[in-house]
Amino acid sequence: MRQVGLFFILLLLGIVGGIWFEHASSHPYRLDYNRAVINLPITYTKYLSDDTYALGEKYLAEDLAAELKKQGIDTRLYTFEDSLANRNFNEGFEIFMRSGPELLLNKYHNYVDKDRVAVLFETIPYKLENVKNADIVFTGSLKKNKFYRSIGVNSYFLPQFTRVDEFYPSFDEKLKRKLLFVANQWPDFPIRKTIQYAKNTGIQIDVFGDNWGNILVDEKASWWKARQIPNDQLKYFYSSADIVLNDTRPDMIEAGFISNRIFDATACGAFVISDYMPEIEEIYGEAIPMYKSPEEFKQLIEFYLSHPDERRRLALMAQKITLKKFSADSVIRQMIAVLRNYVDKERIN
């Protein structure tokens, strides 16, 4: 009897082990759709903790990860270095930003793990071949979203956002200045309009950002104040400037992407002057004055520097619009609703 009992125990263990082996072989790891990873166009992991690393997407990704985590999806950041190392691949969602799709998204997604949801978070125009590889595309351009959907891409309009717990009015007398411009000069692009127009019209501005060493030279060298402002300090600079200047990359204007600087600065109650974009005009109306030429650039700055009450009126108007439509809480709720709906319809949990 003891031998018979032992036989049945071994048989049962064999059956259970066989089922487990078959399951483990077909599912070497189980994906967790309460977890996500954001791939950034940064080479080394050490730069993630470097507050002076001059890449706006790093800060946007940190804000995105923080809000996703706050709303129930545990999210962390990866760099190129991480992608070449052994990683924990159980995140159900993989979010790509900027050059992320160049990490052989097509090969990875089709041959490594078809159940992992590849998400593109498009804040500047992507290459169409990369967009088509994604399961879900979130784009900050209504124009691009309309085009993507017309060709069958699973696309959703998702504007950039601001974290109201990070960007709010925080005036600091020591940081007070007339004209503030926080931006990097893009390699292989013309000089940004703000700098070119300021140089042409003789208007002096305070510049924070990267790659200005070969552009702001001689008597203009004093304009360049620092390579970067740590993200947690930006609200103090925005809040303390009379005017925050904004301009937009040519390809972003063409595609209809609004700079995240607009949302962050206006959330701080800053008064913003920008280059012209119909998308900004549609959202903010007169609350954000815009220029189309160096002459208009100069006229707007001179007028609003001498009319502080009008600056305050328009700044308050813009702030109300931003807080109502572009807070991280409301925008990321929309994002998560799409992610959850996709998993419910397309994936087996």
Hey, is 30 helix, strand or coil? coil
Residue with tokens 């077909």: 26
The residues spanned by each domain of the chain are 32-161+328-346, 173-325
Which class in CATH covers the domain with range 173-325? alpha beta
Q: How far apart, in whole angstroms, are the C-alpha atoms of residue 82 and residue 45?
A: 7
pLDDT in the model for residue 187: 79
State residue 42's pLDDT score: 66
CATH number of 32-161+328-346: 3.40.50
Going by C-beta distance under 8 Å and a sequence separation of 6 or more, which residues neighbour residue 220?
199
Contact 59, 166 (CB under 8 A): no
Q: What's the CA gap between 15 and 3, in Å, rounded?
A: 18
Cβ pair 277, 257 in contact under 8 A:
no
- CA nearest neighbour of 28 among 118, 106, 112, 119: 112
Angle at 40 between CA 150 and CA 27, to 5 degrees: 80
At 91 the pLDDT is 86
Distances (CA, A) of 104 to 134, 157, 183: 12, 25, 30
Spatial distance between the Cα atoms of 91 and 33, rounded to a whole number of angstroms = 7
Q: Do domains 32-161+328-346 and 173-325 have the same CATH topology?
A: yes
Tell me phi and psi for residue 99, to 5 degrees.
Answer: -80, 10
Q: pLDDT value at position 101?
A: 44
pLDDT tens per residue across all 349 residues of the chain: 555 555 555 455 554 445 444 444 445 457 899 999 888 766 556 666 666 555 667 778 888 999 999 999 999 888 766 665 545 568 889 888 764 444 455 555 554 466 788 898 888 777 787 788 888 999 999 999 999 999 999 999 999 899 999 999 999 999 999 999 999 998 778 899 999 999 999 999 999 999 998 999 999 999 999 988 988 899 999 999 999 999 998 888 999 999 989 999 999 999 999 999 999 999 999 999 999 999 999 999 999 999 999 999 999 999 999 999 999 999 999 999 999 999 988 764 4
